[in-house]
């Protein structure tokens, strides 16, 4: 009898994969860029999304986009550098529902060497990118532990583990995020809390367009291409591609994944010549 190689089909395959039905997710910095893409993707896959952003107007616009598409979302003004405010916003949500997912996405960038980075610049990067992640985890971890577990996803950067020119303070802050991820994963794995991070290379967001326009007037196209070509794959990433990885890491399909830093870099880290 002739043997045929038929495609394998597991009982878990199909449209239900990577669903977040019945889960509540907080996404900081969810009003724009990568955070917005994550909020939209999570909502499209069944999650109830709570968008926490310092810019309430942008957060409300993202929430409206979700609810207009029959998804579930609310917007909340939140400065991640202010621990009291973070706790107030989060505790307000915890009083009504179990939050099973926290995405620490809020962050800022900075261009400069150690010589050109002022103390004010350094402190600002630390407050937003490091303390902001700490504040989110600090506010959420007890709630998750008391409710049987959860998922924490931090947004790091390839700058946290690879040398990038003129990114001294930014690289410092993202390296700290990676270290925090490992530490939280180690300390709370016994409580069914998974903690991972994503390290993108350059992703095409409004920040990139603003940076090129501000620093290279009249040469925007040339500089954009130069930045894009720094990834061996030949282009920048898309916010939606980061959102796809975030969806997997926060879904039950990733239940065996914790304490990991995922590069999403178009080959930047390993394929540079």
Residue 197 and residue 96 in one domain: yes
Residue 216 and residue 126 in one domain: no
- Which candidate in 170, 188, 224, 262 is catalytic? 170
Say if 1 falls within a structural domain: no
Counting residues of the chain whose pLDDT is more than 70, the rounded percentage is: 94
pLDDT score at 270 = 83
Interacting residues of 269 by C-beta distance below 8 A, sequence separation 6+? 158, 161, 162, 201, 263
Q: Give the C-alpha distances (Å, rounded to integers) separating 38 from 18, 146, 159.
A: 13, 26, 21
Model-wide pTM > 0.85: yes
Measured torsion, CA atoms of residues 239, 241, 246, 251, in degrees rounded to the nearest 10: 140
Residue 35 and residue 166 in one domain: yes
Query: What are the tens digits of pLDDT across the range 211-247?
Result: 788 878 899 898 889 889 888 899 999 999 999 999 9
Structural domain harbouring 186: 24-201+238-265
Say if 9 falls within a structural domain: no
Answer yes or no: is pLDDT of 147 > 90.
yes
Say if 209 falls within a structural domain: yes
97 burial (CB, 10 Å; 0-12 / 13-18 / 19+) is exposed
Answer yes or no: is pLDDT of 71 > 70.
yes
Residue 179 and residue 213 in one domain: no
Residue 192 and residue 219 in one domain: no
CA dihedral sign of residues 27, 30, 34, 37: positive
- Euclidean distance between CA atoms 55 and 60, whole angstroms: 9
Q: How many domains does the chain have?
A: 2
CA dihedral sign of residues 248, 251, 254, 259: positive
Say if 157 falls within a structural domain: yes
Answer yes or no: is pLDDT of 9 > 80.
no
> Would you call 170 a catalytic residue per the annotation?
yes
Task: Find the mean pLDDT for residues 102-108.
Answer: 97
pLDDT score at 6 = 45
């Amino acid at each position: 009898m002739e043997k045929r190689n038929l495609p394998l089909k597991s009982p878990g395959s199909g449209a239900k994969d990577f669903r977040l039905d019945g889960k509540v997710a907080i996404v900081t910095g969810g009003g724009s860029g990568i955070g917005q893409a994550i909020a939209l993707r999570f909502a499209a896959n069944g999650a109830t999304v709570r968008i926490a952003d310092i810019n309430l107007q942008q957060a409300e616009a993202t929430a409206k986009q979700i609810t207009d598409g029959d998804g579930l979302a609310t917007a909340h003004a939140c400065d991640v550098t202010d621990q009291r405010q973070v706790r107030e916003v989060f505790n307000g949500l915890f009083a009504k529902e179990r939050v099973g997912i926290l995405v620490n996405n809020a962050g800022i960038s900075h261009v400069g060497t150690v010589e050109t980075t002022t103390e004010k610049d350094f402190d600002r990067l630390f407050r937003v990118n490091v303390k902001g992640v700490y504040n989110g985890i600090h506010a959420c971890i007890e709630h998750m532990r008391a409710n049987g577990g959860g998922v924490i996803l931090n947004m790091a950067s390839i700058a946290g583990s690879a040398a990038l020119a003129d990114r001294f303070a930014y690289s410092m802050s993202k390296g700290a995020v990676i270290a925090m991820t490992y530490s939280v994963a180690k300390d709370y794995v016994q409580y069914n809390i998974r903690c991972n991070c994503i390290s993108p290379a350059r992703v095409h967001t409004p920040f990139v367009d603003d940076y090129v326009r501000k620093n290279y007037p009249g040469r925007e196209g040339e500089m954009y291409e130069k930045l894009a070509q720094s990834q061996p794959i030949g282009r920048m990433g898309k916010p939606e591609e980061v959102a796809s990885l975030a969806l997997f890491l926060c879904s039950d399909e990733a239940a065996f994944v914790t304490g990991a830093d995922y590069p999403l870099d178009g080959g930047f880290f390993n394929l540079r010549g």
